[in-house]
Amino acid sequence: MASGFLSRLTRSISHLHLASISRSAVVLT
């Protein structure tokens, strides 16, 4: 249960991180 929640949390965090990276990349270009 805890491990599943942790993997889910890290997945959502990495998704948000990628979204912010692509957004900043769009701003930079």
pLDDT in tens, 1-29: 689 999 999 999 999 999 999 998 888 77
pTM equals 0.52
Between CA 23 and CA 21 the distance in angstroms is 5
Per-residue model confidence (pLDDT) at position 1: 67
Helix (H) or strand (E) segment spanning residue 12: helix 2-28
The alpha carbon torsion through 9, 12, 14, 20 (nearest 10 deg) reads -140
Q: State residue 2's pLDDT score.
A: 84
DSSP E strand boundaries for 1-29: none
Compute CA 21 distance to the chain's CA centroid, rounded to the nearest angstrom.
9
In the prediction, which pLDDT does 29 show?
A: 76
